[in-house]
Structure 1
Amino acid sequence: MNPSLRYLNGYPEHLVSQIERLVESGKLGAWLTQRYPGKHAITTEKALYDYVMGFKNQYLKKSSPISKVAYDGKIHVVNNALGLHSFVSRVHGSKLKAKNEIRIASMFKEAPEPFLRMLVVHELAHLKEKEHNKAFYQLCCHMEPDYHQLEFDARLYLIHLELTKKS
């Protein structure tokens, strides 16, 4: 398998071979652009926080509060992830304070909005479900009905970014 297709590990061979043909023909970028034209305008941390809170307030009103939402330039390189949800408990006197933070890989500042939405939904789902289990993916699909397709297409976007960076 082409090393740049590592994001598709675990997907059925017939899908991987279709993508391999798109890559070899040089048409992956055009396909993505046609399917997801334009980039979103959520480039500041404040705008990202407001965007995330819109989803949280719509779907997860009673879940734990979020103390921070940020773009992070180190996530993809260090953690081999696209977003991170961290939960930190700290002792303050006789009380235990919990903080939830969501970090999104900086490369998604210039991505199509549906990919950012998929990542936000994924990280918000971790407020209720810590593991990637059936309930977790059901919650993701509740917040974003096209979650699985967007996750797959975001993987194609990553492949495209890597290939265009090399050339």
Structure 2
Amino acid sequence: MRPRTAPDYLAGYPPALAAQVRDLIGQERLAELLLRKYPQAHGVRTDKALYDYVQDIKGEFLRNAGQLSKVAFDSKLQVIQHALGTHTRIARVQGAKLKSKCEIRVATVFRDMPEAFLRMIVVHELAHIREREHDKAFYQLCCHMEPDYHQLEFDVRAYLCHLDATDRPLWSAAA
């Protein structure tokens, strides 16, 4: 079996920008910058609290979208699928009715991150309810729900590079 390679979280960014992030990690300055910008972790600890958090955002921006049947933290996401969050839509025939279920799963790594990072991943997965592909309309919807979406996505990716390189989380439940 071939060993898995760590995902390159900055693959879509210009090489010079990715090099800057790697230099900051090497100089042990990235952690300081992120902690200054995002001083503490959020308080969403349980799946129920996450469900309520997602419902609040969905209620504000996607009121007419279908009901979410499940929202949960998932410890297997990043390891198995190299994903930070997933959305699934399942349609089943029950008698004469077509029942639809929509689920959102968020990687447990987001349990110990700032609220802005959690909001970014939740907004991303909620946007998939309306827009299935990562196209212009998808990112416009993300930016409508979270105006700083692109900056937050970059900061999350930089933090994940930090985690891969140092294996030292910056925030914890006690923070």
Aligned partner of 1:42 in structure 2 is 44
Corresponding residue to 1:68 among 60, 67, 70:
70
Corresponding residue to 2:118 among 109, 116, 119:
116
> In the alignment, is residue 8 of structure 1 matched against residue 5 of structure 2?
no
Provide the rounded CA distance (Å) in 1 between the counterparts of 2:162 and 2:23: 13
After superposing the two structures, state which structure 1 stretch, 140-149 or 3-12, moved more. Answer: 3-12
Gap runs ≥5 in structure 2: 169-175
Question: Following TM superposition, by how much is the alpha carbon of 1:13 offset from its aligned partner in structure 2, in angstroms?
Answer: 2.1
Matches within 5 A, 1:76-91: 76-91=78-93
Q: Is the 8 A contact 1:63 1:127 kept in 2?
A: yes
Query: Which protein is richer in helix relative to its size?
Result: 1
Q: Aligned letter for 1:88?
A: I
Provide the rounded CA distance (Å) in 2 between the counterparts of 1:79 and 1:112: 23
Q: Quick one: percent identity of the two aligned structures? A: 54
Aligned partner of 1:99 in structure 2 is 101
Number of equivalences: 164
Q: Cα RMSD (Å) of the superposition? A: 1.4
Question: Following TM superposition, by how much is the alpha carbon of 1:4 offset from its aligned partner in structure 2, in angstroms?
Answer: 6.6
Question: Following TM superposition, by how much is the alpha carbon of 1:5 offset from its aligned partner in structure 2, in angstroms?
Answer: 8.0
Indicate the SS of the match to 1:136.
helix
Corresponding residue to 1:138 among 140, 153, 171:
140
Normalising by structure 1, we get a TM-score of 0.94
Normalising by structure 2, we get a TM-score of 0.90
